[in-house]
Amino acid sequence: MNIIVLAKHAADPESEIRVSQDGKSVDERGLVFDINDWDRYAVEEAIRLKEEHGGEVVVVGVGQTEDTLRKCLAMGADRAIKVPVEPGMDSYQTAMAIKEAISGEKFDLILAGLMSQDYNNALVGVLLAGMLDIPFATAVTSIKVEDGKVKIVRELEGGFGEENVLSLPALLTVQSGINEPRYVSIMGIKRAKSKELKEVSVSVEGGYTEIDRIYTPPVKKAELIEGSPEEVAEKLIQILKDRGLI
């Protein structure tokens, strides 16, 4: 069972986010980068599948991604491929770059997170599946490999799920909560140092889109209640009383 996992080094949406002077990019100062949360689940799932079925886990990252690739190796991935291009937000270019970088790899399964926590496009995985012409499923919450096929459950709206069976090779994007990702141990970090992290240069052309403007959304703001915790509690109780809620 050879598994390729896509992992993005992505900014945390909970960090301080500002628009750059040019109005076309996000100011990286104040941003906290880490492995994309959805990809963390994908890496964990890949390692679990390998533990069950044997084989190899190869993690692929695009851009400035060493920290995240090292983390994946420390979690238990066998080797890493870094694709040193900066395609920004154009997911087509990212998917093309990955396609080229893995062209020499033999794989049964490609796993990726459902989306990235920064741009929330949810595109790279399925674009890659389309380019490779392999079956795919998104928002996957359960993966079982049996008889050369993969049985999955994917998330639908309203708490419903859908079970499907895909022939291999296939690409799956995983939903958060599919597993409980392991912590990176000191031993893991030590072992990761001796693992292969290879750079693969690719050429990326064109792209279909261009950022015109990035800006803060105009939002209706809540009426703010200020004061000490006791004062705030007092005011909230008054609001609840006025509404007949207590």
Partner 1 sequence: MRVFAVAEIKFGELDPVSIELLNLANSIKGDGTAEAVVIGNGISKYAEELAKYADRVWKIEDSSLENYNPELYVDVLSQLFSKEKPDIVLVANSSRGSEFAPALATKLNAPVITDIVGLDTSNGIKATRYIFQGKLLVDILVKDGDTSVFTVRQGVFKEGSEVGGEVVDAGIKPSVTPKREFSQIIEPEVGEVDISQADIIVSVGRGIEDASNIELAEELADALGGVVAGSRPVIDSGWLPKDRQVGISGKTVKPKLYLALGISGAFQHIMGMKDSELIIAVNKDPEAPIFGVAQYGIVGDIFEIVPALVDKLREIKG
SS (H, E, C) 94-161: HHHHHHHHCCCCCCCEEEEECCCCCCCCCCHHHHHHHHHCCCEEEEEEEEEEECCEEEEEEECHHHCE
Q: Which is nearer to partner 1, 193 or 232 (CB)?
A: 232
CB of 54 to partner 1, least distance (A): 24
- Distance in angstroms (rounded) separating the CA atoms of residues 1 and 5: 13
CB of 202 to partner 1, least distance (A): 17
- Distance in angstroms (rounded) separating the CA atoms of residues 17 and 7: 22
**C-alpha separations of 233 from 222, 240, 244 in Å:** 17, 10, 16
**In one letter, which amino acid is 207?**
G
CB of 68 to partner 1, least distance (A): 18
CB of 137 to partner 1, least distance (A): 7
Q: Which is nearer to partner 1, 36 or 80 (CB)?
A: 36
State the residue for tokens 């994007």. Answer: 173
CB of 203 to partner 1, least distance (A): 18
Structure tokens at 7: 């992992």
Q: What is the DSSP letter of 220?
A: P
CB of 32 to partner 1, least distance (A): 12
- Distance in angstroms (rounded) separating the CA atoms of residues 166 and 131: 17
Q: Which is nearer to partner 1, 29 or 243 (CB)?
A: 243
Q: Which is nearer to partner 1, 147 or 230 (CB)?
A: 230
Q: Which is nearer to partner 1, 104 or 159 (CB)?
A: 159
Task: Identify whether the C-beta of residue 34 lies closer than 8 Å to the C-beta of residue 12.
Answer: yes
Q: Which is nearer to partner 1, 29 or 220 (CB)?
A: 220
Q: Is the peptide bond before 135 cis (omega within 30 degrees of 0)?
A: no
CB of 127 to partner 1, least distance (A): 5
- Distance in angstroms (rounded) separating the CA atoms of residues 5 and 171: 10
- Distance in angstroms (rounded) separating the CA atoms of residues 89 and 121: 9
Q: Which is nearer to partner 1, 29 or 213 (CB)?
A: 213
